[in-house]
Structure 1
């Protein structure tokens, strides 16, 4: 966009500042690091129930179906909250929205420090999910105010790595607390860490200078939400990421119990083993972001550099995961699980930039939030399905293997849908034609002062 917020010839958008599309403002990577930490806390909060799964089930005398419900409960308000907040950030600065979300996370952890019932734990996880539902979409929207379109893949990858490092760094520490003290104190520690991030963001967090959403809302052409939400790339992003999130939500809830109950490892060993999928996934995410930007710099279309690059690993990962029931030995089964699910991370890097390609800036917060709300429905379904399958299986291990086979099928299907539907470069052209008459009308209009 020009200084008035109109589209450029290349179809890319900037905001109202004088910064050109090739420049990255000073402080952009500081904000990126803070938002990386934001996502680190976010995923540490998510993983704690799965990490403490066996002690929780033992202390509260829970059946697998009940524990599956607990895992799913986190997502009951996740999607609704994501959509509501997504529209809010079209008008409210992301700095204050991010601050509010982090406060909710921290406060939702402290009730678990004392004696707690299953109902209290369930309610706190629902509240936490409502606070964390909008997290990634709001953080993405915030970070895109600091980077032009062609430079967004790498910061998106760094942001996504907050999830991996939230597990890699938090799991050993939290597991030590669980083993040496109590699972109750693991929740309390996360509440304290959340409040520390709140203080850091109050001191250093700022709004990006490349886009002024309120000004753009008054000047840039709008595209009807129905057209954006039914565009094939939007549908493709939801479908592809749904499969990835199925695997992720199983990892958050059932990976550690599988290591202990299915493969026979101790709680102490499960702590470091639980980090393996996230270490591998972190490598995949960073590589995807780097490769995507290199491909685009060399002239590749975003269909290839984003759509194909994100979808193919889902298909390959699903096929690898499908081999688990057909091999022997805990080590080999674990390796297939780590590699198969770790490949899913590629899709998280490419989908938000693809949506940003064709969505007007003043509508982007809502569109990315709705995208997140829809694919995270997998988080409600997957843990419950795994719990039901385990409880009804002939043996614990057979139940886990059936659940991972279902996961493999979902991943392959979602990856194939991504390959079929993800065409962001042509989507932008088609939707821009729709918005062009509106842009002409705006140019001739006198805006109120």
Structure 2
């Protein structure tokens, strides 16, 4: 399409980022509604803590398993159509969860939710890589990822209120309808850089000269070497990539505690009122959002100041993962304010570490960004399977302390992964499989 010829760069990229932000809010709304419903749902369906752990984890089974296919699909098809399809299908499945009668039906529908959401984060990364230059990329990632925290922080009390008046059935139906409507909005308004009427040549030049990648083949066109085994081997055979893969598992471990067991922890194990728990549960999400935005903008500022990519990108993640260990402090107090403080501090640190998606853009071969992002998200979302199930077994005796130690210890594992495995920031070579130094 014809773009404006003004010499001053337009800012169409920020409008596209705003659309992605809302996608992320809805994405996490449909992931986390099960946590708000968990306490009432487990009583109505007579679920044990172990069974509830499996319900909490069901999303992750298909979501993690389909990350690699999701990454490949993100490389082949355009974000506009693919994201609209994903939004509408996972939202329909969410509506159906409001009509379930037992464990098997709910487990199956959570599996379906994970399957249809699987391509979402590889698509997000592809969009940001296309629309933003390198010196804005980490802050852009931080902004769209913050949607999961800002949305949940402000919507969690509302979700608790909705469940109080409409039951957990109404909660699922309502959140699903929101996603259905937004899927249509996304399809109407999103465009890639070369197809956007509001972007001018100056902005395209600014993006491209800064490292933005939008000159690839058009969506649906034949892709070279994307589906070959050699490409998969290329992105799983490097120590640096394994460092960020393991680190992402640890980052997501903390995240999935808050997305699943945290409200039930407050209601059933700390014996707080249901509505009060809704407001208190929002505090750690706000803290995580602050940590994420602080980390993203600080990291990009360090890059603009000429600091090494390794220091600018890795340091906030390592510091954040060490801070996330503070969740263990909640085991040593019965004071509600202190419990929420330790939870908020831990999630603040976890938010700092969530800029880790920038390493997909930095390290992956340029033609395999979607595939690398798929594997990265696959490894990270193994935590969405493991953590809810392990917690379900750890707390079945009524003691939640071992669960918090388990989650906090994984934060240390993640920090060590970035310290000892992630070395120089190097891009994996496109054809040779060798690593090519891009900055240090």
Tell me the TM-score range normalised by the shorter chain.
Answer: 0.7 to 0.9
Q: Which of 333, 338, 343 does residue 332 from structure 1 map onto? A: 338
CA contact (8 A) 2:314 2:418 kept: yes
Structure 2 match to 1:214: 217
Structure 2 match to 1:316: 323
- The size of the alignment, in residue pairs, is 409
Structure 1 match to 2:250: 243
Render the CA deviation track for 1:284-324: whole Å, top value 9, x for unaligned: 00001100111001111111111122122102221x12323
Summarize the Cα distance change of 1:297–1:177 in structure 2 as closer, same or farther, 3 Å threshold. Answer: same
Task: Map residues 25-424 of structure 1 onto 2, 5 A cutoff.
Answer: 26-114=11-99, 116-209=101-194, 210-214=213-217, 224-318=231-325, 320-349=326-355, 351-391=356-396, 393=397, 396=398, 399-424=399-424
Distance 1:269 1:112 in 2: 25
Distance 2:258 2:334 in 1: 21
Summarize the Cα distance change of 1:24–1:89 in structure 2 as closer, same or farther, 3 Å threshold. Answer: farther
Cα shift at 1:386: 0.7
- Normalising to structure 1: TM-score of the pair? 0.85
- Normalising to structure 2: TM-score of the pair? 0.87
Structure 2 match to 1:447: none
CA contact (8 A) 1:296 1:302 kept: yes
Cα shift at 1:138: 1.3
Render the CA deviation track for 1:216-245: whole Å, top value 9, x for unaligned: 96699x995423322222111111121111
My pick for the range that moved more, 208-217 or 92-101, is 208-217
Distance 2:388 2:35 in 1: 10
Distance 1:50 1:189 in 2: 15
Unpaired segments of 5 or more residues in structure 1? 1-16, 439-449
Summarize the Cα distance change of 1:171–1:415 in structure 2 as closer, same or farther, 3 Å threshold. Answer: same
CA contact (8 A) 2:55 2:107 kept: yes
My pick for the range that moved more, 243-252 or 338-347, is 338-347
CA contact (8 A) 2:283 2:340 kept: no
Structure 2 match to 1:443: none
Cα shift at 1:152: 0.3
